[in-house]
Structure 1
C-alpha cells in the first residue's frame, strides 16, 4: 500500500486583519501628528536664520554705502548716482552694492524673508524697509556715522505687504503716523527682526515698547 504525504498549503503567512490594519493606520496618524509640528518648527527656525542673514547682509551693505557717501544712508528714492536724471530706491542701490540681481516674484534672495508666505497674499520681491522715521522718505537722509546710540537704532525692519509683492520701501514721518510703525510685520512666531546700527539683529514683538525708541533714534 502506498501512502502519500500530506502537505499543508499554508506557508504560515497571512494578510492583515481589519483590526491590525486599523491599528497600523492609528500608529501612522500618531507618528504624523508628532512629526508635523516638529518639521514645521524646524522650518520656521531655518527661515528665521535666513531672514537674519538677509538683514545682516543688507545692513552691512547700507553701512558701506554710508561710508562712501559722507555718512548718509540712502533714501526711499533718490537720484541715481550713475544717472542723476533717474530716481532709484535704496533696494536698487543695495542690489548694486551686493552685486545681486533685482528680485522678482517667486525668487528667493537677500531682499526676501522666506517666511513672507505666512503673511503676504502673493510672492514677494521685497520684505524689508529702510528706517527713515522722523523725516521725509525722499530728503534729509539720516547720518549713520553720527548716531548717538547705534545699539538701539534700527536701520532695517520687516514690513507688511504693500502692493504687487512689494513690502513698504521705508518707514518715515511720525512713528505713529501713516508711514510709521504700523507698517512693521511680525512673521516669526509673532516676532519681527530689525537690523541695528551697531551690526546686530534684534528680534521683538511689534507692540514692544522699545520699538518706537529704536525707530526714532535714527535721527539722534
Structure 2
C-alpha cells in the first residue's frame, strides 16, 4: 500500500487558512472581553449609586461632598465605603492594575484652615471612578466656603434622571496627572479647550471600545469611545463621549436650559470670571453634568 503525505503547498494552504481565521476571530474575542469588562464596570457604578443613596438617607437626604483636599473630609469613596463594604466595586475592570483601596492619612493638615485631623481621612485617588465635580459641595447653602459646605440635598437636584453623579475617569500610571477621583466638566474631544488642564485623569474616559485618543501629559486621553456613568435617580448607563457632553439647546448662539444662559467654555471671558473655585464651571452647558 502506498501512503500519500501532504505536499508543501497543501500544508501552506492549511497554515494560511488558520492564520486568516485567527486574524478574524482574535479581534472578536477582544471585543467580547471588553464587553464583559464594560458590563462589570456598569454594575460597579450601579452599586456605587446604591451606596450614595444609603449615605444620603443617613445624612438627612444630603449627598457626599467630592472630598478634595480643601474640603478636608476625605474623598467621596471613603465617605460611602461603609455602605458599599467592598473595595473591588470602586475599581473599573479596565484599570485593575491601579485598584482603589480603603486607605487613610493620619495627621492630615487641612490646606485652608491649618486644622490637623488625627483620626485619618481617606484620600485614595485610584480605581477609575470620579464624582461629578459640579456636585462637589453646596457652597450656597449658608456656608462661607467649601471647607464647611455640605453636600447637595437630593431635593436640590431638579432633574435627577439627567444628572450624572459618578462616571469613569483616571489612568493606570501612578502619577498625579493620572488621578481620577473626580470628573471635571471638560469635553476631552475639544483638545484646544482641554489641553491646558493639568490632570487628564480628571477628564471623562471613554476607555471601553476606544477608537481614538490624543496625548495629554503623556497619557492617551480617549476622544472616541464609551464610558459608564450613573445618574442621580440611580440608573446606570453606557454612553458615548458625545452623549455625555450633549450641549443644552442653543438659543441665539448661547446654550440655554430652563431659561438659564449657560457658560460656553470656549469663551474665556465668560468661562473664567475670576470667581471659580478650583476647576468648577458655573452654569455648565453640558446637560448631564449640570445641576438644574
Q: TM-score, normalised to structure 1's length?
A: 0.72
What is the TM-score when the length of structure 2 is the normalising length?
0.56
Q: What's the offset of the Cα at 1:182?
A: 6.5
Residue 165 of structure 2: aligned partner: 155
Higher RCO (C-alpha 8 Å, min separation 6): 1
Structure 1 counterpart of 2:174, from 158, 161, 164: 164
Alignment of 1:30-49 (within 5 A): 30-49=20-39
**Deviation, structure 1 residue 53:** 0.2
Match of 2:94 among 115, 134, 139: 115
Structure with max Cα Rg: 1
Is the 1:75–1:132 contact (alpha carbons within 8 Å) kept by the matching residues of 2?
A: no
With 15-24 and 60-69 compared, the bigger mean Cα shift is at 15-24
| 1:1-39 deviations in Å (ceiling 9; x for gaps) | xxxxxxxxx5x4344321121011111111111211211
- Distance of 1:180 and 1:22 partners within structure 2: 48
Map of 1:196-215 to 2, 5 A cutoff?
Answer: 196-208=231-243, 209-210=245-246, 212-215=286-289
Q: CA RMSD in A?
A: 3.1
Q: How many residues of Structure 1 are paired with residues of Structure 2 in the alignment?
A: 189
- Alpha carbons of 1:134 and 1:198: their partners in 2 closer, same or farther (altered >3 Å)? closer
CA deviation map 1:33-80 (0-9, x unaligned)? 12112111211111111011000000111111111111111123289x
Shift of 1:151: 0.7
Unaligned runs of 5+ in 2: 101-126, 138-145, 187-193, 210-224, 248-285
More displaced 10-residue stretch of structure 1: 88-97 or 32-41: 88-97
Distance (Å, rounded) in 2 between the aligned partners of 1:113 and 1:17 = 51
Q: Distance in 2 between the 1:49 and 1:27 partners?
A: 33
After TM superposition, list the pairs within 5 Å mapping 1:77-92 onto structure 2. Answer: 77=67, 87-92=73-78
**Residue of structure 2 equivalent to 1:5:** none
1:193 maps to: 228
Q: Structure 1 regions of 5+ residues with no counterpart?
A: 1-9, 80-85, 102-108
* 1:100 matched residue in structure 2: 86
Deviation per CA, 1:134-191: give whole Å up to 9, x if none: 655764422224421111011101113286276421236xx34858996111012211
What is the rounded CA distance, in whole Å, between the counterparts of 1:64 and 1:145 in structure 2? 15
